[in-house]
Amino acid sequence: MAAFWFLVLTLFAGAHSASPPTRIVGGKPTEIEKYPSMVQVDYINLFTDIWSQSCAGSILTSRYILSAAHCFAGGFYNPNLRRIRAGSTYRNAGGVIVYVEDAYNHPSYGLRVYDGDITVVKLRSALTYTPVVQRTTIVSQGSLIPDNFPVVHAGWGRTTDDGIPSEVLLDVTVFTVNNKVCTDRYAAIPDSPPVTENMICAGLLDIGGRDACGGDSGGPMYIGNITIGVISWGGECGNGTFPGVSTNVASYSDWIYATAV
């Protein structure tokens, strides 16, 4: 059975104040200058008071960030236990730090496993735009993403399924997978979460070796410089049978615009 990295990481939520750390498998080092809308989402460890990157996100405006709802949920979640690091290539170093005021998880989150795994995060203070701190562009509501289309993941998550997070930003190109094919693949696993119409699957189908992984949650799926997905969950990282799954931003674009005001 595939080891769902979202679920596995959630088991450590108590120790880390609540949520999953997520890194790119099969990627290569890159720089924040290439992805200036990307940010790190830091958690504070309640036992050590040490902050550390555990998720990622994208800048919507100077006061709002787009990320995954599961990064801002759980029994130990509190906005005071999250902060954003923007403008740095390096994990847990450099850039600018801004603390979280609140997070608005999509109302459907939690009604079906992983469906609606998207959030708009409000910052306590505004980011200042620079060459390495810029807002993203999101896809329009209802946009259709073709199958077998090249897309890019970027993040600081694990480089192997049982590995450790990357110290530098990585990116990787994968290909979108037909939703029904992806649905059928995961349906063959007992107790697998369902793949819904609000999700985008991507990887190297039947080959593997490239994927998002733990610590990449909340980060972007790009076509060009447009954010079309939010990294959400998946089977064993880089598994050719079970592609990674991202939230389809096109299912929620209108809600994102209405929330990030």
Non-local CB neighbours of 153 within 8 Å, separated by 6+ positions? 24, 27, 171, 172, 174, 202, 211, 212, 216, 219, 220, 221, 222, 231, 244
Domains defined for the chain, CATH in brackets:
5-22+36-135 (2.40.10.10), 138-250 (2.40.10.10)
Q: From the centroid of its chain, how far is CA 185? A: 22
pLDDT at 25: 93
pLDDT at 13: 33
Provide the annotated active-site residues: 70, 117, 217
Q: Is the pLDDT of residue 6 over 90?
A: no
User: Which tokens is 54 given?
Assistant: 């555990």
Q: Which residue has the tokens 């390096």?
A: 90
Q: State the Rg of the chain over Cα.
A: 16
* H-type alpha helices, 103-261: 179-187, 253-259
Q: Which residue has the tokens 């697998």?
A: 192
> What tens digit of pLDDT does each residue of 104-144 get?
999 999 998 899 999 999 999 999 999 999 999 999 999 99
User: Which tokens is 227 given?
Assistant: 């954010």
* From 9-13, 202-206, 232-236, the region with the lowest mean pLDDT: 9-13
Q: Are 210 and 203 in contact (CB under 8 A)?
A: yes
Q: How many helices (H) and strands (E) does the chain have?
A: 3, 14
Residue 249 DSSP symbol: G
Say what the pTM is. 0.91
Mean pLDDT of 191-200: 96
